[in-house]
Amino acid sequence: MPELPEVEVTRRSFADRIAGARIDRVRLGKALRWPLGCESQALVGRVVTGVRRRGKYLLMDLDQGLLLLHLGMSGSLSFAPLWTEAGPHDHFDLLTSRGLLRLNDPRRFGAVVHAQGEADPVAVKLLGRLGLEPLTDQFSAEAFHAGLKRRHAPIKQVLLAGDVVVGVGNIYASEALFLAGIRPTVKASRLSGPRAARLHAAVRDVLARAVEKGGSTLRDFSNAQGEAGYFQLEAMVYDRAGQPCRRCGTPIRLLRQGQRSTYFCANCQKP
């Protein structure tokens, strides 16, 4: 479910309200992708000092150490002042002095992992290979193009891989390639400077607009206040197979790349 926009929208929806909160109790549900990595009791008494984002990971800073949170395919966080009964898919609760932070994740591809710091091997393992942050100044057209030149796989899969640029998932990869007029099957290394620059701008544009719209709610995404996103209403190609291109009317095509669906307009997007 969550790509960079959804993760960032989630972060913004509770970061200020949880900052300064003291952890009073921790409840673990069914196993997530990885074990927490510490006794849950060790978190009690810690104070949340802030919430950052790296790619699709949330980094919850504590007065000692930090928690790495990932929403996987079906995860969402909620933060509410009142305690409520845990449901069957609520697998991590942080009861704090400011309210209850809860991770709901039916498919359990998500994770909550404790690390002593960002230099902790477990943090390095998860964050170390991540590429450029697309909504920061480090994501320049030049650095992006240089990264693409080293990769011979189809551009769609290189965007998804996250080691050149982070945060672009299956929805926004298709959308960005449409905006840039680039066929998803083009080898990343073969993109010219100008085309890479167009894709660079498209990635920034689509992610930033999606954040503004509160992300995409396809099935059940909501931010930590329970609010849905609306960017899916603006999708040009994602999940629109067979429907007319919003720009030229040509039926949108669907193809499989690396076991994932890719949507594109064969007329608007050039090989």
Partner DNA sequence: AAAAGCCCCTGGATGC
Partner DNA sequence: TGCATCCAGGGGCTTT
- Provide the binding-site residues for DNA, judged by CB under 7 A: 1-3, 6, 30, 33, 55-57, 70, 72-74, 88-89, 106-109, 125-126, 129, 150-154, 157-158, 160, 162, 169-171, 188-189, 215-221, 258-261
Residue closer to DNA, measured from CB, 99 or 106: 106
Number of other residues whose CB lies within 10 A of the CB of residue 166: 22
Could you tell me how far CA 175 lies from the centroid of its own chain? 15
Question: What span, in angstroms and rounded, lies between the C-alpha atoms of 85 and 176?
Answer: 40
3-state secondary structure of 7: helix
How large is the angle between the packed helices 141-149 and 193-212, nearest 10 degrees?
120
Just list the catalytic residues: 2-3, 56, 260
Question: What span, in angstroms and rounded, lies between the C-alpha atoms of 196 and 80?
Answer: 43
Question: What span, in angstroms and rounded, lies between the C-alpha atoms of 146 and 126?
Answer: 23
Residue closer to DNA, measured from CB, 46 or 144: 144
Residue closer to DNA, measured from CB, 142 or 163: 163
Number of other residues whose CB lies within 10 A of the CB of residue 121: 10
Alpha helices, DSSP H, located in 70-192: 121-127, 141-149, 155-161, 170-180
Among candidate residues 174, 111, 179, 135, the one with its CA nearest the CA of residue 9 = 135
Question: What span, in angstroms and rounded, lies between the C-alpha atoms of 227 and 203?
Answer: 24
**Closest distance of CB 47 from DNA, Å:** 27
Which sign does the torsion angle of CA 61, 109, 164, 230 carry?
A: negative
**Closest distance of CB 170 from DNA, Å:** 3
Could you tell me how far CA 199 lies from the centroid of its own chain? 19
Could you tell me how far CA 95 lies from the centroid of its own chain? 24
Among candidate residues 48, 35, 42, 17, the one with its CA nearest the CA of residue 91 = 35
